[in-house]
Amino acid sequence: MNIGFIGLGNMGAPMARNLIAAGHHVTGFDTAANPDGIPCAASVQEAARDADVVITMLPNGDILRAVAADIHPAMRNGSVHLDCSTVDVASARDVAQAAETAGLSAVDAPVSGGIGGATNGTLTFMAGGDARAFETVSPLFDIMGQKAVHCGDAGNGQAAKICNNMILGVTMIATCEAFVLADKLGLDRQAMFDVVSTSSGYSWSMNAYCPAPGIGPQSPADNDYQPGFAAALMLKDLNLSQMAAQAADADTPMGQAARDLYAQFVEEDGMGDKDFSAMLPRFAARSRP
């Protein structure tokens, strides 16, 4: 395929390289980067022109809306706008509607798997939008990731992503709290892991991404909490979850509590560039209020 790829940051650049390695013709664009090995255009319109699929990987909904307004008039009738950004549901649905009005198809497909998944082609895509458009871009998902799930109508990919990451934020905080409580009760961390990881406290946060250094599989905790998934990005996703909860009139007290704790961690403690699992040393340094 001829592919335009707009947004060549830490996630977008390796995704684009994997598409090039698989034989696709990729023309990229980024306002701040011109990564090695990716042919780049001088404008978003140039990157989008004559493409079968235009992929966007952008920071937020406002930027997505602005880029969509620029690229949709330049895109070939019937081509697909595949947005892999993580944005609010309303922006995803509005961009999909704009694409349809312009004679295009749209798929919102945020990803899970981080920079490592983008580099290794093992991302998970949660996709919303037209089923026919999803089938069109499915071969690209197979290159950039290991799994893609069609979640329904436009915006449902974003809905799935923020629901998943709300669970992740809550369970990571609970896992970190439990390790600190275990420490203060005199329970060895390895013993706690051996029990919890094989009983009803089992979770991805404990078993696959343990926040305690030297316990369980290798994780950012073993590298001074250098980010696999930065706390600032977790805060972004939790903010999106609470925006969606407010719009949908959904009661999410644990999601709100997790958002508030990560807001303090990132905005007050200045720890946004640490891994989101660095909540463990935060709790370890504190006493009960």
Residue 36 tokens, joined: 């090695």
Distances (CA, A) of 34 to 23, 41, 195: 20, 9, 48
Would residue 236 show up in a list of annotated catalytic residues for this protein? no
Could you tell me which residues come within 8 angstroms of residue 14 by beta carbon, excluding any fewer than 6 positions away? 115, 118, 119
**Where in 116-273 does DSSP place strands (E)?**
123-129, 145-150
Pick the catalytic residue: 161, 184, 236, 274?
Answer: 161
Nearest Cα to Cα of residue 212 among 229, 190, 228: 190
Could you tell me which residues come within 8 angstroms of residue 211 by beta carbon, excluding any fewer than 6 positions away? 172, 175, 176, 179, 205, 219, 221, 277, 278, 279, 280
Distances (CA, A) of 271 to 41, 176, 220: 36, 16, 14
Active-site annotation, residues: 161
